[in-house]
Amino acid sequence: MFHKALIAALLISFCLFAGTASAAEESDAKLKQQLETILQEHPEVLMNVLRENSEELFLIMREGSQKAQRKAITTQWNADVDVPKTVNLKNRLVRGDADSPVTIVAFSDFTCPYCEQAAFTVNTILKHYGKTVRFVFKNFPLASHEHARTASEYFVAAAMQDKEKAWQLYDAIFANRSVLIADGEAFLKDTAATVGLDVKRLEADAKSTAVKTIIDEDIKEAQDFGFSGTPYFLVNNIVIRGALPFDLFSEAVDLALDHANKKK
């Protein structure tokens, strides 16, 4: 019973140390050696220990994995921050102050559930940071997503007509993504009318060469960066992949802001 309890304690400790980025290598090696010796002498109790402590071990391993993943992400960000990223912002809609030290550029798809989640996070970021951050939405509609390209066409056309109403359309599309997927262009027309856009003009502009050029440029830019899938973000020079929670996304903003302030 003593050995069984000891093995359980060591297994849990080992998982905890293995998943903790700050654990010293020497302590980790010593713990591994102790665990290996005891398991060689008492292999018969290993499965019982795992079964009886499966929930605790799973939680520890998941926590350790999350910590390791978070460390890997932030390490990459620190490498990104000094590597300039050139983005074409000409004729693109900007939300926020033009003089903001941090620019968030989204490469996103209106029909993507992760993009919907990320859009909410970005809006929260903008409210939290105020004039410190501005936001640019770049269209990256995936060919496999029905209505994605059409939604981008309507958004870009709306920006040509009325910038503020275009952002209202943007918010409404993401807030009703499931309706867009179900109803397609009919939903876009109804929503455009609701926010006060000229729908007939919008329909014509959405199919114009000017709109097609902007969307094609955005897609090519995303591909040139090596982005696949959606969403991707640039926070100044920092590359963010996927829909991160607010606390982690804000770490990227803080890092970009700190770097921008040091360059002044």
Burial group, residue 80, by CB count within 10 angstroms (0-12, 13-18, 19+): buried
The whole model's pTM is what?
0.74
Q: What residues of the chain score a pLDDT lower than 70?
A: 1-28, 31, 38-39, 42-68, 264
Using only the alpha carbons of the chain, give its radius of gyration: 25
Ranges assigned E (strand) in 109-245? 133-139, 232-235, 238-241
Provide the CA 182 distance to its chain's centre, in angstroms.
25
CATH 3.40.30.10 at 94-262, yes or no? yes
Cα-based distances in Å from 251 to 103, 113, 172, 256: 14, 23, 28, 9
pLDDT of residue 53: 58
Provide the residue ranges of all domains of the chain, joining segments of one domain with +.
Answer: 2-80, 94-262
pLDDT of residue 111: 97
Return the structure tokens found at 31. Answer: 């713990």
pLDDT of residue 72: 80
| Angle (CA) 239 152 94, round 5° | 55
Separation CA 242–CA 69 (nearest Å): 13
pLDDT of residue 17: 47
Separation CA 3–CA 31 (nearest Å): 16
Return the residue matching tokens 């709306």: 158
Q: What is the pLDDT of residues 34-82, one digit of tens each?
A: 777 766 776 665 566 655 655 554 554 455 555 667 778 888 998 889 9
> What are all long-range contacts of 23-30, with beta carbons under 8 Å and residues at least 24 apart?
none
pLDDT of residue 263: 72
